Structure 1
Amino acid sequence: MKKVLITGATSGIGEALCLYYQAIGYDVIACGRKPDKLAQLESYNNVSTIAVDLCDQQQVTEKMQQLGSLDLVILNAGSCEYMDDVKHFDGQLFARVINSNVIAMGYCLAALLPQIPAGGQLALVGSSASYLPFSRAQAYGASKAAVAYLARSLALDLKSQHIDVSLVSPGFVKTPLTDKNDFAMPMQISAQEAAKRIVTGLQKRTFDIHFPKRFTLILKTLSLLPDSWWRLISTRILQK
């Protein structure tokens, strides 16, 4: 039985991934901070849980460094907060998002990478928001751009260890996190559909897993435009 560890497993994409992998016969280790949700997940066969605050390096080290061989690690946990008044830049908000989305991921990598054997896989969940700069997304976008760079760099250095790395860049997915958004979210898909696409991509050992493609390919194409063009387009959108 293959073993997968998933962070951010108590809601949204992480929860959907746990249930998907459990259904196809994996031994699942679900990591999160919500005791009630972890208890629900543990009621499924072949699911064990770890209650952990990923921003606490000591907790991560103590609870994750001796799990044994892991066939697949999916670092999915993260948060999203937007800057409403960038002129009065909120440094505390910025730090919270960077800590949650980047620093905590580093703690996990330190604890978990030694447990991924040759032939194993590592997946970092970023966002298609990293393709282009968006209004109010100074903290979130910067954190996800860091995740994208981290994944690309890890892929280079782990190749010699025969560990495949994947970068997951979703578009809009309906989760408790995105339910808080106060703006239109075009081509939004369910967490279950997102989980299906992630699993399919990981089974193929694809590096760049992005979806829905009718949305992410538009962003990728726009990212090829000169910065001045994109700033002009963004300004016109914001003025509407």
Structure 2
Amino acid sequence: MILITGATSGIGRQLVEDYTKSGADVVACGRNLEKLAGVKDDCKAHQGKVLTLAFDVTDRAQTTRVLSDFLREQEITVAILNAGVCEYIDDPLHFDAALVERVFAANFFGVVYCLQALLARMPVSSKIAIVDSMARQFPFVRAEAYGASKAAIHYFARSLQADIGQNGVQVITISPGFVKTPLTDKNDFEMPMRVSVEHASLAIRRGIAKGKSHIAFPRLFGGILSLLERLPRGIQNYLATRMKQS
């Protein structure tokens, strides 16, 4: 059975639809009961079935309780921890620390809380895929909170890979570029090489099936960011500033 957080929108919802179409049973997780019911209804004609779990990943007690109770009765072989948010800092000289806390609560601690409940209860040869972002690779303007949260969870996942690699549970990192979702539809800037949720879902499902340790898409955008990441820091800062001015 496959567990997916952030399943009511964007990449998460597309993953639920595509996995159930292929015959897999999926546990769709989200905060909104009405939206979860909509996901389940949309997939009722598919080969695989959808179970739903309602909890807020930013609530540690609720997350660990709901997941722990579920795992006493059901076995999860793949968990895709996809839930996340994005908020930008528009005035860096007078930013609100509460904004940073909100972003980290979902993008970092939300994953950590899920891992606390999942890791000890997942069988040998199971997989946990953690979604970060290519934004962690470059100092994009206004993205202090978002980029930092994604960099933090990427490092956490990489360290976890090394720590538990011999225990039979594979940890996979997923780094998307821009994906057309309700979250990115709110952006007021150009998003080069933005891909569809269908593209994202296919890349993730293929990567997990092949047992990759890292999944990144689109490849060209990832390659460009990897090159930028190798530039001297002064040049990176100059380019980031030019992006702000354009």
User: TM-score when scaled to structure 1?
Assistant: 0.96
1:128 aligns with 2:126: no
Partner of 2:185: 179
Shift, 1:24, TM fit: 1.3
Shift, 1:165, TM fit: 1.2
Offset from partner CA, 1:164-188 (integer Å, 9 cap, x none): 1111100000001001000000111
Partner of 2:22: 24
Residues in 1 aligned to 2:241 and 2:61: alpha-carbon distance in whole angstroms: 44
Counterpart of 1:81 in structure 2: which amino acid? E
Residues in 2 aligned to 1:151 and 1:63: alpha-carbon distance in whole angstroms: 22
Partner of 1:79: 85
Residues in 1 aligned to 2:114 and 2:40: alpha-carbon distance in whole angstroms: 21
Shift, 1:141, TM fit: 0.4
1:209 aligns with 2:212: no
Aligned length: 238
Tell me which stretches of 4 or more aligned residues in structure 1 moved more than 6 Å.
Answer: none
Which of residues 48, 51, 76 in structure 2 aligns to 1:48?
51
Partner of 1:101: 107
Offset from partner CA, 1:90-134 (integer Å, 9 cap, x none): 101011001111111111111111221110001000000011111
- Between 1:158-167 and 1:177-186, the stretch displaced more is 158-167
Residues in 2 aligned to 1:151 and 1:27: alpha-carbon distance in whole angstroms: 25
Q: Give SS of 2:230's match.
A: coil
Which of residues 53, 57, 61 in structure 1 aligns to 2:60?
57
Residue segments in structure 2 that go unaligned for 5+ positions in a row: none
Residues in 2 aligned to 1:58 and 1:233: alpha-carbon distance in whole angstroms: 43
Which of residues 141, 144, 162 in structure 1 aligns to 2:147?
141
Does the aligned pair in 1 maintain the 2:136–2:148 contact within 8 Å? yes
Residues in 2 aligned to 1:123 and 1:139: alpha-carbon distance in whole angstroms: 22
Shift, 1:233, TM fit: 1.5
Partner of 2:118: 112
Shift, 1:215, TM fit: 0.8
Q: Give SS of 2:174's match.
A: strand
Shift, 1:41, TM fit: 2.2
Residues in 2 aligned to 1:162 and 1:149: alpha-carbon distance in whole angstroms: 20
Residues in 2 aligned to 1:138 and 1:208: alpha-carbon distance in whole angstroms: 24
Counterpart of 1:202 in structure 2: which amino acid? I
- Between 1:41-50 and 1:143-152, the stretch displaced more is 41-50
Shift, 1:236, TM fit: 2.3
Counterpart of 2:189 in structure 1: which amino acid? F
Offset from partner CA, 1:179-198 (integer Å, 9 cap, x none): 10000001111111100110
Residues in 1 aligned to 2:16 and 2:122: alpha-carbon distance in whole angstroms: 19
Partner of 2:241: 235
Residue segments in structure 1 that go unaligned for 5+ positions in a row: none
Which of residues 13, 16, 20 in structure 2 aligns to 1:15?
13
Offset from partner CA, 1:127-181 (integer Å, 9 cap, x none): 0001111100010000000111011011111211111111110000000100100
Shift, 1:69, TM fit: 2.1
Does the aligned pair in 1 maintain the 2:141–2:241 contact within 8 Å? no
